[in-house]
Amino acid sequence: MATPQAYVYDAVRTPFGKFGGALAQTRPDDLAAAVVRATLDRSPGLAAGDVDEVVLGLANGAGEDNRNVARMAVLLAGMPTSVPGSTVNRLCGSGLDALFTGSRALETGDAQVVLTGGVESMSRAPWVLPKPSRAFPAGDVTAASTTLGWRLVNPRMPTEWTVSLGGANELLQQRFGISRTRQDEFAARSHERAAAAWAEGFYDDLVVPVGEVTKDEGIRPGTTVERLAELQPAFDPAGTITAGNASPLSDGASAVLLATAEAAATVGHDPLARVAGRGTFALDPQDFGFAPVEAANRALARAGVGWDAVGAVELNEAFAVQSLACLDAWGIDPGIVNTRGGAIALGHPLGASGGRVVGTLVARMRAERVRWGVAAICIGVGQGLAVVLENTDAQEAGVR
């Protein structure tokens, strides 16, 4: 008996909002429920009760999203209470890890249809106070923000591991000698491509409105290298990373519908892409920006293809410097990477970004008639994930 394979049937996301922006008044569980509901509505032949599991990624989970946000999304989206929900946390890779979990469930025969994705409201992430180890402390206690990065750090952690995310990428810049100009050029191109993609209607079928919010909020059309060059370094006075060549804090949610080939009749339409290979990799925490390199190489090896066969790449742009370091290491044509903009322009709501890069990759592969594509993401504390997808129209796609 042949081993079942996992296929992507649909992908959708909310617009990505700025920190404190248009989505800041929307709870994360409501954002998650919005994409779950939208996914079901887009496959009207699929009964909600036929979804075997909902698996969502979430990076923080210290606030309104604290009590298994996937299960909350199931309930808030009006799905039957019999549909289970599970939340996974691999920081920035959580949404892609959710796809890994869902695709493995399909391949092992544990499920036929799994709705995956992720969510993050960085605007609504709370401040937290550590509990005292002894009652009635006399001194002050400092609240820690749960929006991003290290907090409440174990004192046994080496200090070089717990450097800030930006500080870690300044170290990466020093290691590879990636100039400020290259980073700013990369960032300007991200905004240019994102603005063009929206203008051309590329995102019309990938993004569902949340109330009156219909479009990604962080795109700055007309961004130039010259304007970016005026920004001051954000992490090191002598550094190269600025607010302009790094991804912004964001709010949003994404969903990716997975199912086996045999479940096509249940879903009500044909699949779009096959999950051909997955890759994970870990290294020293401060080097996290470089982790997608080996993660993608491993995913390609498991798919049985090389970089020369890949025609589309979606790499989450946490920072321009780490994105460039990865592209240089892969030795691929930058012209196939993030052609519809990336996280520097679109935003990076941590738990949702994995679903975004997969959804964008599938849409690109179909539009650009590409057979093989790679989606990859770096993850704080020294990890990377990548997935290889095969276009189900491969026979007609014109391999390149």
C-alpha 336: how far from chain center: 18
Helix (H) or strand (E) holding 274: strand 273-282
Q: 351 in helix, strand or coil?
A: helix
Q: How far apart are CA 15 and CA 5, in angstroms?
A: 30
What are the start-end ranges of the H helices in the chain?
28-42, 69-76, 94-107, 165-176, 180-200, 225-228, 264-267, 292-303, 320-330, 343-346, 353-368, 394-397
* Contact yes or no for 172/287 (Cβ under 8 A): yes
- The 10 Å CB-count burial string (b at 16+, else e) for 225-244 is beebeeeeebbeeebbbbeb
Q: Is 264 exposed, middle or buried (0-12, 13-18, 19+ CB in 10 A)?
A: middle
Q: Which of 191, 269, 326, 348 is catalytic?
A: 348
Residue with tokens 């544990």: 110
* Contact yes or no for 332/289 (Cβ under 8 A): no
Q: How far apart are CA 305 and CA 291, in angstroms?
A: 20
Q: How far apart are CA 212 and CA 324, in angstroms?
A: 35
Contacts of 163 (CB under 8 A, 6+ apart): 171, 286
Residue type, 45: G
| Known active-site residue 191 | no
Q: Which of 92, 191, 269, 326 is catalytic?
A: 92
17 backbone dihedrals φ, ψ, rounded to 5°: -100, 155
| Known active-site residue 348 | yes
Q: How far is CA 307 from each of CA 312, 394, 395, rounded to the nearest angstrom?
A: 10, 17, 19
Q: Which of 191, 269, 326, 378 is catalytic?
A: 378
* Contact yes or no for 296/330 (Cβ under 8 A): yes
| Known active-site residue 92 | yes
Residues assigned a catalytic role: 92, 348, 378
